[in-house]
Amino acid sequence: MKTRTVTRKQLVPHTVDGHTELVLAEFEIELPRPPRDWDSIVRAGVTVIACALVTVSLVWTTASIGDLLSLAAVAAVAYAAGVAFDLTWIMCMGVEWLLRYDPDRAALAKRAGNVALLISMAAVFAHGRYFGQWPVGAAGAAVSLLAKGGWTIAMRAHARPLDSRTAQWVAKRRAAVDGQLAMIPVRRELLRGEALVEAERQARIAESGGSADPDRPGPSADRPDPSAAVRPNRSLTTKDAVRKVWDRGIREADPAVREIVQLLGRPVSPDTVERYLRDLRAEAS
């Protein structure tokens, strides 16, 4: 059995002048060498070859179509446009790979990639035909076809097919998680909107000199208040204000933002409030 030498470290006692301390000492051990994984090696080789084919196709297509388009446009612009022909179907294949466990969504990317490939091949063939070298144009068009075919085969080597029931289970779980992810920006947008509305209300109250709370009785005639508007509390931080509303029993972000705005006398970031509330929930648990 083949073995390999591995260097390990271990704490050992070491004494100098009667004082013993634990120090790191290195030692070597022999471990069995695992057999070579030829499947992984071949799979990696197939992937590298597929990437090389795509790169060659991209360069050839850009050169051919860029030369054709340069007859009617500046060379820099023509070659930049030539890149788009192969990049389109390459991008579609990437999307197809990302959606490999969702055949319904991947179908559109697959069809779009095939259409983009045909357009790219037709443009390369047109370049050769225009210059009277149709065999060169046909061979150049076949480069893109071979590259896409090679990449498709490479993706099949990496694919992990799912049976019908497992695919349905994955679809349901993905739908549930996607719904939760979709609600994150929605909640943030709502919190930002509520904070802006509250800030606008506070600003109008400050301009008019009215009370911040319409249900709260006005100042006593014996002790008039020159301004009932909420004044900014510079000594109180947002984190302290979150702690205060937490102690009052407020656990949700929306009412917490409204209370904190009242305490601080200035608008606050809903994301910051949500983060502090999350930390307090973690402490409480």
Q: Give CA–CA dist 87/137, Å, rounded.
A: 19
Calculate mean pLDDT across residues 228-248.
74
pLDDT band at 120 (very low <50, low <70, confident <90, very high): very high
The overall pTM is greater than 0.85:
no
List pLDDT tens digits, range 64-94: 999 999 988 898 999 999 999 999 999 999 9
pLDDT band at 220 (very low <50, low <70, confident <90, very high): very low
Calculate mean pLDDT across residues 86-106.
89
List pLDDT tens digits, range 31-53: 888 888 888 899 899 999 999 99
